[in-house]
Amino acid sequence: MGILDGKRILVAGVTMDTSIGFATARVAQEQGATVLISNFGRALNITKRIAKRLPSEPPVLELDVTDPEHLERLPALVREHVDGLDGVVHSIAYGNPETLLGGKFLDGPWEDVAQAVQVSAYSLKSLALACRPLMADGGSVVGLTFDATVAWPAYDWMGVAKAGLESCSRYLARDLGPDGIRVNLVSAGPLKTLAAKAIPGFEELETMWTTRAPLGWDESDQTPTAQAVCALLSDFFPATTGEIVHVDGGFHAMGA
Ligand code: NAP
């Protein structure tokens, strides 16, 4: 018996088997959930191949969270496979690594900043609202952040986008709470994924974590983060919303 037995979960943002979304889909299936995954654009074919590596091959939906038509048709696409959703995972972020990350903070152009904020923060609202009609009996929305309460080396404008995401999750928690929909984030330590590898200077963060996290930190192990996401999707957090759960080996609690 798993903690997600009978739950129907959409995991948005799976490209490779290193994706946090992939690990989340795997753990969710192991815990009894029926899982759908999504991605967009040219990577969709990669996602379809990668989906075969999950314990049970899930349907792969096309969803660009910045495309209003994709958002509008999402409930119909989901209903081709399940009659509703109990949980939605937002595992999505993008910021142009050439202009916004790796020490480019003072030069980041607005057009690229706007794109990063739309894809990485505003889209939590877009995705949650698109899925709202599918969660008539309530549900759980979970997103992924990288602690945006402080400034980091290299993270630059993605840090600003994550601050937006963290705030967005609290306002969504306020407005969707009356529908019985919880909205929470998991704040993960640095993990070796496609998105992370694209950040120039990301190794600096990895080194800080391996030396300072009191529980230690394995940047190649997405499972603890995925387990926390699945716990928040489950019925074990019925009175928790607007929360950020740290899965970072305890790094955030240390002063030095
Ligand atoms: P990832 O595997 O690259 O996942 C990011 C996903 O976002 C990719 O599937 C990407 O698709 C998708 N995406 C980008 N733009 C999109 C759009 N417009 N519409 C729909 N999907 C879009 O990297 P990840 O590290 O697992 O990232 C997942 C989440 O965890 C992100 O929010 C990230 O910021 C967060 N996080 C990561 C770390 C870390 O160290 N890796 C730490 C804390 C939090 P494409 O591959 O096709 O672009």
Q: Which domains does the chain have, with CATH numbers?
A: 8-247 (3.40.50.720)
How confident is the model over 20-33, as a mean pLDDT? 98
Q: What is the DSSP string of 180-226?
A: TEEEEEEEE----SHHHHTSTTHHHHHHHHHHH-TT---TT--HHHH
199 closest CA partner among 229, 227, 157: 157
Q: Is 89 helix (H, G, I), strand (E, B) or coil?
A: strand
- φ, ψ at 130 (rounded to 5°): -60, -35
pLDDT given for residue 55 in this prediction = 98
Amino acid 256: pLDDT: 87
Residue pair 103/154 in contact by the 8 Å Cβ criterion: yes
Question: 249: pLDDT confidence band, cut at 50, 70 and 90?
Answer: very high
Which amino acid is present at 38? S
Q: pLDDT band for position 200 (50/70/90)?
A: confident
CB 163 within 8 A of CB 224: no
Lowest mean pLDDT among 113-127, 140-154, 193-207, 218-232: 193-207
Residue 216 burial by Cβ neighbours in a 10 Å radius (0-12, 13-18, 19+): exposed
Using a 6 Å cutoff on CB, does residue 134 contact ligand 1? no
Q: Does any ligand 1 atom lie closer than 6 A to the CB of residue 196? A: yes
Angle at alpha carbon of residue 208, lines to 204 and 116, rounded to 5°: 55
3-state secondary structure of 73: helix
**Best of 22, 142, 144, 205 for a ligand 1 pocket test (most atoms within 8 Å of beta carbon):** 144
d(CA 55, CA 24): 12
pLDDT of 134-183, one tens digit each? 999 999 999 999 999 999 999 999 999 999 999 999 999 999 999 999 99
pLDDT classification of 250: cutoffs 50, 70, 90:
very high
Q: What is the model's pLDDT at position 168?
A: 98
Does 230 contact ligand 1 (Cβ within 6 A)? no
Between the CA of 67 and the centroid of ligand 1 the distance, in Å, is 17
Which amino acid would we find at residue 94? Y
